[in-house]
A and B are shown apart, each in its own frame.
Chain A
Amino acid sequence: MDNFDEIAIIETKKIDMDNPIIIEGVPDIGLVGSIAVSHMVAEQNFEEVGYIKSDLFPPVLVVHGRKVLNPVRIFQKGKLIAILSEIPIDPRPGYMLSKKLTQWYKEKGAELIISISGMSLQERIDIDDPEVFGTSNNEEILKKMEGSGVNILEEGFVSGFYALILKNSIELNLNSSVLLAQCYPSYPDPGAAASILKILNKMTGLDVDVKQLTEQAEDLKVNYRALMEQTNASIQRENKVDVPTMYR
């Protein structure tokens, strides 16, 4: 079996729409993407329409509402498709998953891919409303992001899984963007996820209520502690280039 085929995207319900907008939440710095997308699909009643399976993923299944589920699942509401992972994606499956996903996005005729992540900040504790930074491979999208309150990265680096998504998107001529909220370097950050969702509301026309994220931030941090611990270990395994947070 080709390595690329070790990952399969299974559609349990027909996903048939014109030019969907894809929103990705994969465990990363501060778990910003996971927390934001998990909250969004629950609060906006997204429908589960598929999952992603691979022997390269750790042997984990999740149980929600007495149902046994795959940890990487696909949700849909209207024109929006959400990819939510409840396991950290290690580098090797990460390379293959990013290729498989971007190819799938291309087949679906995706209008825009929005990857959600965090930007670690040592002084995060002193910030009440984290700012959101972003980049895209499309100038029009950049203008739209700027109009939605995103600080556009003029100089800097994107690394990890989302860098692969962006790289593959450039090769496949897909519009892709990355949103990065200021967040704690090693702790789950529901506040940063709330900042991202406020921006997403403007960019996509959603109306996600983020009050619960801010009011129950402490409880969420407890619940996400183990995933954060595993994600921190995964990030270390990734052996990333130590890039400076250079932006202006």
Chain B
Amino acid sequence: MIRRYYILKGNANNSFRQTYWHINYCECNNIEPLTEFNESKEALIVTLDMPCVEKEKIEVTSEENCVRISAPTRKGFCFKKDINLPFSTDPEKVLATFKKGILVIEIPKKVKHYKIEIK
């Protein structure tokens, strides 16, 4: 079971922007990044908002039916997200780019239907 609680920083000089909407930490100190999905016939495009992360420290691993993302932040917690795919993909064809704190992952759908040549 994941325990959730809020952490409030005790610095009296902090303003709203620095103190109020704090990360909803779970006991493993991981949080899910804000995520958007855009699906086409050929691929699923996933964008994840991952501020305060260095590109070099992001880990994206792909299996046929799952893509896992994890990245430590300089704020002391990790972004972590498992995307369970309702389709199969070729893990080696998954593409990821990171720009302006946003990770974009393109997950191509495995072609399942072939036209069979009749001999």
Whether A8 sits at the interface, judged by CB under 8 Å, is no
Q: What separation, in Å, do the CA atoms of A223 and B51 have in the docked complex?
A: 10
Which stretch in A60-68, A91-99, A164-172, A234-242 binds the other chain? A60-68
| CB-defined contacts of B31 to chain A, threshold 8 Å | 225
Could you say which interface size class chain B belongs to?
20 to 34
* A65, B12: Cβ atoms closer than 8 Å: yes
Report Cα–Cα, A38/B16, bound state, in Å.
Answer: 7
Taking CB atoms, residues of chain A closer than 8 Å to B73 are 222
A42 near B24 with CB under 8 A, answer no
Task: Evaluate contact between A222 and B36: CB separation under 8 angstroms.
Answer: no
Interface residues on A, range: 20 to 34
Q: Which residue of B lies closest to A216 (CB)?
A: B17
Q: Scoring B residues 1 to 40 as 1 if CB is less than 8 Å from chain A, else 0, what string do you get?
A: 0000000100011111111111110000001001010100
Map CB proximity to B onto A212-228 as digits: 1 under 8 Å, 0 otherwise: 00000111111111111
Any chain A CB within 8 A of the CB of B52?
yes
A226 near B24: Cβ-Cβ < 8 Å = yes
Q: Which residues of the partner chain B approach A62 to less than 8 Å between Cβ atoms?
A: 16, 20
Q: Cβ of B100 < 8 Å from any Cβ of A?
A: yes
Contact (Cβ within 8 A) A221 B101: yes
A82 and B47 CA atoms in complex are apart in Å by 34
From known contacts A222-B51, A222-B52, A225-B34, infer whether A64 and B21 are also in contact, taking CB-CB under 8 Å.
no
> Does A149 count as interface, using CB distance less than 8 angstroms?
no
Task: Tell me if A47 is interfacial: C-beta within 8 Å of chain B.
Answer: no
A125, B51: Cβ atoms closer than 8 Å: no
Partner of A64, one of B16, B38, B52, B101: B16
Contact check, B49 vs A184: say whether CB atoms are below 8 A apart. yes
Query: Is B24 touching A86 in the complex (CB atoms < 8 A)?
Result: no
Give CA–CA (A1, B22) in the complex, Å. 36
Could you list 21 A-B pairs, sorted by A, with CB under 8 Å? A38-B15, A38-B17, A42-B15, A63-B8, A64-B19, A65-B12, A65-B13, A86-B16, A86-B20, A122-B38, A125-B104, A186-B36, A187-B102, A217-B101, A218-B52, A219-B51, A222-B51, A223-B19, A224-B17, A225-B21, A225-B34
A-B residue pairs, 10 tightest by C-beta = A221-B51, A218-B51, A227-B21, A187-B49, A226-B21, A65-B12, A42-B15, A218-B52, A38-B16, A222-B51
